Amino acid sequence: MESQKEETIQIYRGWTEFSKKEVSEKLDFFSNKERLFDIIFAQQFDRAFLNFMCHLANQIRLLSKTKSGANKLSQLLSHKRAMLYFVQPSTRTFISFLNACHILGMKISEIRGTTTSSEVKGESPEDTIRTFSSYVDLIIVRHPVAGFAEKTAWVLNQTERPVSIINGGSGPDQHPTQALLDIYTLERSFERIGGLDGKKIAMVGDLKRGRTVRSLSYLMKNYKDVTLYFVSPKVFKMKDDIKGFLKKHHIEFLETEDFDSVKPLVDAIYMTRIQKEYSETPSKEADIYPEFHFTKKDLARIQSHCIIMHPLPRRYEIEVDVDNDPRAVYWRQERNGMWIRAALIAYLFCVDSVIAREFC
């Protein structure tokens, strides 16, 4: 069976060669006349683009506060159809994208789960995607295989009727819209104190395997004078590739295991889930690395403007009692994901100018 399945993967000429290129060499292929056409890598975002997305997300958020504004938004793409193709389950990201599409009035086809009937019949993943592209104007893909979204966009861009692809998380590394919502949350939270430039950010927990903190670190090259504090147990230290990148771009960072001493210093604390690496000695989860948790009493030790972020879901890293403090922005961070994704989709369909007109 397994070997048969392997056999079905058909070869599209040129992919192997393309896939080996550096990301920087690939970017043009996913753009169209100076505008991003597919959203595949966080590396596609420069400072101007990030600023523009935050601005557009703000506009969408404001418009949706009134019925007339919300109705205007929902007519913007009422003639467009999107597919959410989530081979890898992820309720949170799925619902966020779905409602981003709903805000803009798109009609949605959903594929959730690990197998579709076509795959059962032995169709290649490329043919499946090309089939979907027959029916819709945008495909948002989440897939466990690294590079799947990229390959998909590559195949479609060679057809006579390409549709945009958004990478909703593909393999262990790339999840560009998560990075986007983190940036938006930081910029929005620091709106009255000069934005993200010059800020000190602590990243806490499993930095070795955490996709979000890695992506966010990369994007720091777009901001001035940011200092990162990597706070983790020794076994979960940030990997050398990121540290090399930061050095190359002259971004200051410090590594420490002492969370307590960092708390009063920073403008933002980005908490992440932390789990035991090896579980030979079973222990209660709540007791694992408690020194890297954030509790109610820590609220007194951080600055009055310091925000607490978390990509969610959380387990024990943040005490529930922290939730009602105004500096706990992780629930707002989720909602920001919806706004920034709506902004991204509006941009891809070139209706950002229609939105801007509402603010003239």
Helix (H) or strand (E) holding 151: helix 148-156
Residue 141 near residue 175, CB atoms below 8 Å: no
Rounded Cα distance between 32 and 24, Å, is 16
Non-local (6+) Cβ contacts of 67 within 8 A are: none
Tell me the closest approach of the beta carbon of residue 300 to a copy of itself, in angstroms: 18
Helix (H) or strand (E) holding 201: strand 200-204
Residue 327 near residue 308, CB atoms below 8 Å: yes
CA-closest candidate to residue 265, choices 294, 306, 204 = 306
Rounded Cα distance between 155 and 353, Å, is 30
**Count of residues in the chain:** 360
Q: What angle do CA 345, 346, 347 make, to 5 degrees?
A: 85
Binding-site ranges for a copy of itself (CB under 8 A): 4, 7-8, 10-13, 64, 67, 70-71, 74-75, 78-79, 81, 83, 89-92, 95-96, 98-99, 102-103, 107, 109, 111, 116-118, 120-123, 127-128, 130-132, 134-136, 158-159, 284-286, 312-315, 320-321, 323-324, 331, 334-335, 338
Checking 352-355 for CB contacts under 8 A at 24+ apart, the result is 352/52, 352/56, 354/76, 355/56, 355/59, 355/60, 355/63, 355/73, 355/76
Backbone angles phi, psi at 292, to 5 degrees: -105, 20
Q: Which residues are catalytic?
A: 92-93, 121, 142, 175
Q: Which amino acid is at 359?
A: F
Q: Which is nearer to a copy of itself, 260 or 323 (CB)?
A: 323
Q: DSSP assignment, residue 63? A: H
The gap from C-alpha 71 to its chain's centroid, in whole angstroms, comes to: 27
Non-local (6+) Cβ contacts of 301 within 8 A are: 260, 263, 264
Q: Which is nearer to a copy of itself, 243 or 273 (CB)?
A: 273
Rounded Cα distance between 80 and 104, Å, is 9
